[in-house]
């Protein structure tokens, strides 16, 4: 079932379920993905950005090469604001904070791909976070990535001692990764009007 949050002549936003690739991977067994499902309904859709397979939430697709370039440039210039909801292991005492640790791919681990903090060779990565609710042994947080590095939110939260619940790489595996792309703010590629889209967190 494809959940389309927004669809016009220029771009669309789809709610990606967890455990589904955004784009096809290598091998016959990795061809089922959000992009192929979108193409069945909207044949002119073009990929703008990706979410990790285990992450759910808002994913954008363009409906023309011009719109794809426009939206990709907005991402590149960090003009698109994104909010993620996560549940992390442990109780965070502070109400908010900033994580400014450079990241790079771990070349010693190929499968599954892994990233790590490297203050010398890593690329700049910046995340703001805010506590929404504290539980007995977990904390619900809002995460605001200001850069778009692979696994950024997962590595950053693990790096400060609060891995995201259900993370099979940086934490402890569970039924699902408790990370959801809940909202995005962008400029409509043609009209330039500001648009905010939301997909409420399922947890």
25-44 confidence digits (pLDDT tens): 888 878 999 999 999 999 99
Mean pLDDT of 160-184: 96
Domain ranges of the chain: 3-198
d(CA 104, CA 162): 20
Task: Read off the pLDDT of residues 58-113 as tens digits, 9 standing for 90 and up.
Answer: 999 999 999 999 999 999 999 999 999 999 999 999 999 999 999 999 988 878 88
Concatenating the DSSP letter of every residue in 94-152 gives SSEEEE---EEE-TT-TTTT-EEE-TTTPBP--EEEEEEEE-SSEEEEEEEESS--TTH
User: Count of CB atoms within 10 A of residue 8's CB?
Assistant: 13
Quick one: 3-198 is in which CATH superfamily? Pseudouridine synthase (3.30.2350.10)
Of 56, 157, 54, 73, give the one whose Cα is nearest residue 113: 54
Rounded to 5 degrees, φ, ψ at 141 are -130, 155
pTM of the prediction?
Answer: 0.94
**Parallel, antiparallel, or unpaired: how do β-strands 56-62 and 179-187 relate?**
parallel
Active-site annotation holder among 52, 54, 106, 192: 52
Determine if the peptide bond prior to 158 is cis (ω within 30°): no
> Distance between alpha carbon 63 and the CA centroid of its chain, in Å?
21
Percentage of the residues of the chain whose pLDDT score is greater than 70: 100
Active site residue 52: yes
d(CA 172, CA 112): 14
Q: What is the pLDDT of residue 109?
A: 83
Q: Hey, is 80 helix, strand or coil?
A: coil
Q: What is the pLDDT of residue 113?
A: 87
Mean pLDDT of 160-185: 96
């Amino acid at each position: 079932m494809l959940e389309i949050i927004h669809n016009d002549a220029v771009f669309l936003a789809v709610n990606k379920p967890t455990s589904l690739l955004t784009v096809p991977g290598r091998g016959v067994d990795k061809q089922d993905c959000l992009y192929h499902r979108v193409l069945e309904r909207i044949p002119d859709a073009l990929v703008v950005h990706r979410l990790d397979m285990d992450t759910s939430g808002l994913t954008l697709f363009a409906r023309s090469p011009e719109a794809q370039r426009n939206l990709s440039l907005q991402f590149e210039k960090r003009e698109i604001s994104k909010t993620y909801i996560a549940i992390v292991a442990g109780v965070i005492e502070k109400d908010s904070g900033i994580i400014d640790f450079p990241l790079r791919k771990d070349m010693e681990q190929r499968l599954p791909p892994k990233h790590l903090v490297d203050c010398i060779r890593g690329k700049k990565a910046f995340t703001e976070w805010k506590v929404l609710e504290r539980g007995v042994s977990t904390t619900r947080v809002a995460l605001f990535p200001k850069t778009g590095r692979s696994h950024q939110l997962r590595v950053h939260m693990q790096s400060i001692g609060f891995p995201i619940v259900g993370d099979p790489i940086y934490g402890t595996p569970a039924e699902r990764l408790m990370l959801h792309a809940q909202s995005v703010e962008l400029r409509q590629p043609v009209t330039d009007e500001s648009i905010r889209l939301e997909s409420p967190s399922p947890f």
